[in-house]
Structure 1
Amino acid sequence: MGGMGIRFVDAMNVVGSRPDGWWQDRPAAVRRLADRLRTLAAAAAVDVEVVLVVDGTASEALPEGRHGLLEVRYAGHGGRNAADDLIVALVAAADDIELEVVTADRELADRVRRLGATVTGPRQLWDELDRPGRHRSR
């Protein structure tokens, strides 16, 4: 993403895309993703806000709110797709900026595309996270 924008990350969708044992400790897996996103945001030379949207309620290990250049938001309730409605609401509320949603959820992707957001899959984000100090540009 280039220029001013917001990148919304569907936390459990991205975490669940890699079979690395994340299911043994979901909060720790989300915390690891948050740490990596913070590092990526700090290294990026573009003005992009990163918002990690998590299913469920806030965790003491990763409270809702700002964490450096990363914002963490919780859906407030559990369920397989609990974060989807929050992501759609956040995309709908954003004006005049470039929006990206990172998810492999087809229904969510369709919903946010109709609102003008671009969609990137988890693999592209993991590739970006696995290349320290580098960021994607369009």
Structure 2
Amino acid sequence: MNNLVKHLESELLQLEKATEILRYSYEKCKNINLIEGVGHQELESFEALTGRFARMSDMLIQRIFRLIDNLDLEDSGTVRDRINRAEKKGLISSADIFIEIRILRNEIAHEYKSETIYALFEKVVHLTPHLFKAVESTREYASKYFI
């Protein structure tokens, strides 16, 4: 159990660093008008945002939520199971939103061509604040129960 707690502490430190970097990209991109199109510099900024968004969602769902489930003596189950348990624990406000985040992460990671790049950027900008809120809730939960 002690090793899992130490691992969680380490993961939370990495999550804090990733949050800072994602927040920087988010602040840079959130007010860019996508309707008018973007130049090379803005495109580069949005590509950084989408990559950081995908990594942050993986850190939360695949690593930290799984660790918390292990510490809570829960079976790992599917990604959907993990997300549903995170909602029940108050780590996230909505399982549906995190399912949407996971689907968007897969679109980013696998470069699906199901929608325009601008629509993908808009979704990332819209969903990023949910990741920030989940980081806060997860930190509070970990402090309350494990650290």
- Larger fraction in helix: 2
Of structures 1 and 2, the larger Rg is shown by: 2
State if a TM-score over 0.5 links the two structures: no
- Larger fraction in strand: 1
Provide the TM-score with structure 2 as the length reference.
0.31
